[in-house]
Amino acid sequence: MKGNFGYFFREGSRNMFSHGFMSFAAIGITVACLLIMGTFSLVAYNADYNLKNLQKENAILAFIDETLSDEDAQALQSKVEAVPNVADATFVSRQEARDSYVAQYDEDDLYQDLDPSIFRHRFVIHLRDEGQLSETVEALRQVDGIAKVRADEAISAGFITARNVAGVISVTLIVILLIVSVFIISNTIKLTTFDRRDEIAIMKMVGATNGFIRWPFVFEGLLIGVFGAVIGFGLQWLLYNAIANGIAGSDTLQLLRVVSFAKIWWPVAGVFLLAGVLVGVGGSLMAIRKFLQV
Amino acid sequence: MIRLIDVKKVYDNGTEALKGISFTIEDGDFVFLVGPSGSGKSTIIKLLTGEIVPTAGRVMVNGFSMGRISDKQIPYMRRTIGVIFQDFRLITNKTVWENLSLAMRAVGAGPREIKNRIPYVLELVGLKGKEGSFPDQLSGGEQQRVAIARALVNNPSTIVADEPTGNLDPARSLEIMTLLERINALGTTVVVVTHEKGLVNHFDKRVITINDGMVAGDGMGQYEVVK
């Protein structure tokens, strides 16, 4: 293999260029598949990213019954933390809540004399899994001493739906499109093997091993896959940035945060390359299998 | 050495091609395998090259038992045999040098070995200076010489030629057969399948006659026409 690497590579490249149109079609379909797969995966990734941010920022507020003393209110901490799915709970006293509220309107004298007694003691709670928000809120409501629980369920549910839908679509599309890519590449390489069936028969007759015959076709598939991955990655980058800029410039979508492509290009490139190589090599192995039974 | 012991071959469609053939070809022999069309000559060639396996009996080729050979061993068995075909079977978009170097690469030869071996073989077959020619630029006789060079280039112990002169005029046919005789004189076993009576009779060699899937004659000298 080592000594023949140059030969395999030359033959693989020659095969690819000798069927220019089919190779172009195979690369094109690989690019399209990777692009669709990448786009849905990145949507799922961003939905997850936003969900985690929401989890960090959008804490649940559990208001404590006004009849409880300060000590009894603070003593609820262990009960709240014992509720399943609660990651952490921070006690905020009336005074702290009042100060925090007033701080938002520090230029407005109207709020400066606000009485802390109109606020309730509360716990600021973060969850482990935002997906179980409703169940956790319900469990918190059952804790003795908790008067009211406030959570922004609608926003959270929206992100969860987006993440799950994008996840399901991306997994389904990945499977379908990878099969389509393998099939198209396999057919392209079948053309090459059909063109070279006499050469393959001669090589078998002089004592070539299946491995020696297979490698140039594997390289052809590999090159198609790698070309598809590189072009697909470039287009994905452009598309992603265009969408990110569109979201950033939109008033209605200000809530969304899009991860900068510069922060995720490396794993995206790795996945594209890996998918391209797998599809290319898989397709070529499928194509050559029949021709080796000479 | 090639040895067939009571070999029978029945194809999937029921055709009984060989009906119990036995013969031995010793190392260094020159043998003509003759017989009418459909007598079973091609089946014998296919058995010798591992394209098919016998239905019954034993086929031994250069130490390999063809009935028991594994798929992985077949390439290594084939390296002991150089096969020459009537239609040359050269790769037309490759030069003479590339045709030969591909055959050498296919068995794992390195660049230095290829560089040393090809000029020697081309000189042996009388094609020195034709390295850069494409098959289409050569005459039929020259193309068959390239095919012989390709069969020889990996230094096999046996050459099997299937109707090597079928596409050539009598003068070129004689040249090719003389070349095979020279190769045989260098120690290579040569098995020539042919039905050209004149050519067989020109050389005083062993002739195995096949008819209706059986050995009809085996002896030195003349091509006996089977009736």
A146-156 tens-digit pLDDT: 888 888 777 77
B101 domain residue, yes or no: yes
Pairing of strands A146-150, A60-64: antiparallel
Number of domain units in chain B: 1
Percent of chain A with pLDDT over 90: 11
Task: Report d(CA B128, CA A132) in Å as an integer.
Answer: 83
Residue A203 confidence (pLDDT) above 70: yes
Residue B226 confidence (pLDDT) above 60: no
Using pLDDT thresholds of 50, 70 and 90, give the confidence band for residue A129: confident
B125 domain residue, yes or no: yes
B59 domain residue, yes or no: no
Q: Which of A201, A206, A213 sits opposite B107 (nearest CB)?
A: A206
B142 domain residue, yes or no: yes
Q: Which pLDDT score is estimated for B148? A: 93
B123 domain residue, yes or no: yes
B58 domain residue, yes or no: no
Q: Which pLDDT score is estimated for A258? A: 86
Fold of A59-151: Alpha-Beta Plaits (3.30.70)
Using pLDDT thresholds of 50, 70 and 90, give the confidence band for residue A3: low
Task: Report d(CA A46, CA A40) in Å as an integer.
Answer: 10
Q: Which pLDDT score is estimated for B15? A: 92
A161-170, A275-284, B121-130 — which is least confidently predicted? A161-170
CB count within 10 Å of CB B97 equals 18
A52-61, A164-173, B178-187 — which is least confidently predicted? A52-61
Residue A51 confidence (pLDDT) above 80: no
Which DSSP state fits A65? Answer: P
Q: How far is B108 from chain A (nearest CA, A)?
A: 8
Q: How far is B41 from chain A (nearest CA, A)?
A: 18
Q: Which pLDDT score is estimated for A257? A: 81
Q: What is the 3-state secondary structure (H, E, C) of chain B?
A: CEEEEEEEEECCCCCEEEEEEEEEECCCCEEEEECCCCCCHHHHHHHHCCCCCCCEEEEEECCEECCCCCCCCHHHHHCCEEEEECCCCCCCCCCHHHHHHHHHHHCCCCHHHHHHHHHHHHHHCCCCCCCCCCHHHCCHHHHHHHHHHHHHCCCCCEEEEECCCCCCCHHHHHHHHHHHHHHHHCCCEEEEEECCHHHHHHCCEEEEEEECCEEEEEEEECCCCCC
Q: Domain limits at B132?
A: 90-155
Q: CATH 3.30.70.3040 region(s) of chain A? A: 59-151
Over residues B14-31, the mean pLDDT reads 95
Q: Which residues of A207-242 are buried (b: 16+ CB within 10 A; e: fewer)?
A: bbbbebbbbbbbbbbbbbbbbbbbbbbebbbeebee
Among residues 151-180 of chain B, which lie with CB inside 8 Å of chain A? 154
Look up the pTM and report it: 0.67
More confident position, A70 or A291: A70
Using a CB-CB cut-off of 8 Å, the residues of chain B touching A10 are none
Backbone angles phi, psi at B65, to 5 degrees: -95, 110
B178 domain residue, yes or no: no
Q: Which pLDDT score is estimated for A294? A: 46
